[in-house]
Amino acid sequence: MARLPLTPHGAPPTYFTFSSLTAVGVAHATTTRHCAGIGLASARPSPFAGESGDLLTRAGLAMDRVAWAWQVHGADVAAVDAGGFAGHVDALVTTVRGVPLAIFTADCLAIVLVDVEAPALALAHVGWRGTVRGATQAAVAALVAAGGRPERIRAAISPSIGPCCYEVDAPVIDAFAAAYPDRWRGWMTPARDESHVMLDLWAANAALLGEAGVSAARVENPRVCTACHLDTFYSYRKGHKGRLATVAALPS
């Protein structure tokens, strides 16, 4: 397995951690395909009821208190103060220490946002639809509404599909052009013909974080492509139905 710019845990790694989040005491994990037992959002009592729950508990996350959502590729945010199902939304925010928030992906971005001084934590699920609909901006706004300050926010972007592998066509191009008429071209490069491009969701969302007031120096964006590392991650584009999870909690 190629060495990735994240901290691995296990051999092969069952999850990775971000150095910037570890540095401020945020318990967290972004899982790999070697973390078994992640269920659906409809699973009860929890999508982490089996082996994955035990593993993430050992990683320092109180998985008996985890909060999660049924993600719908939108920009709605749910504020949570306890574990359990949080509704049909794509971002979660909390000010409660020790309550893990979970986002599920298999090519889309999971973005962790934290202001440990507030304290406030948000996690967002962001694919191309979420990017167009403003999910990243909504998550930052929710964190600020919860007491966070943009200049103190640290952000981390999970492994997700990269511009090397993410070819999109006219409907996606048109949606970006309508949502971001002055910027969308900078996030796309030509593909096999004029109606197809390679989309860089990492660059797009890093730029949107910057516009929301988050310093680029405080964004950990390892640019790890799920579709390029099939020995480690699931990729929806490559035909996988498995689910990855990014989980984080405010320091207790």
**Tens digits of residue pLDDT in 202-242:** 999 999 999 999 999 999 999 999 999 999 999 999 999 89
What global pTM score does this model have? Answer: 0.97
Residue 188, domain member (yes or no): no
In a domain, 71, yes or no: yes
**Does residue 173 lie in a domain region?**
no
- Residues 6 or more apart from 1 whose CB is under 8 A from it? 12, 229, 231, 232
pLDDT value of position 50: 85
Q: Is residue 137 part of a domain?
A: yes
Residue by residue, DSSP assigns 131-165 as HHHTHHHHHHHHHHHTT--GGG-EEEE-SB--TTT
51, part of any domain: yes
**Least confident interval from 57-61, 189-193, 198-202, 206-210:** 189-193
Quick: pLDDT tens for 91-139.
999 999 999 999 999 999 999 999 999 999 999 999 999 999 999 999 9
- Amino acid identity of residue 64, one-letter, is D
In tens, the pLDDT along 174-190 reads 999 999 999 999 999 99
- Please indicate, yes or no, if residue 191 is contained in any of the structural domains: no
Average pLDDT score over the chain: 97
Q: Which residue spans within 60-210 are E strands per DSSP?
A: 67-68, 77-79, 84-85, 91-94, 101-105, 109-115, 120-126, 154-157, 167-168, 188-190, 197-199
Range of the domain at 61: 7-160+220-249
Whether 186 is in a domain gets the answer: no
Q: Which of 44, 208, 221, 244 is nearest to 135 (CA)?
A: 208
pLDDT band at 1 (very low <50, low <70, confident <90, very high): low
Q: How many domains does the chain fold into? A: 1
- Residue 156's CATH number: 3.60.140.10
Q: Does residue 106 form part of some domain?
A: yes
Q: Considering the chain, what percentage of its residues have pLDDT values greater than 70? A: 99
């999870």: which residue's tokens?
A: 245
Backbone angles phi, psi at 174, to 5 degrees: -65, -40
DSSP 29: E
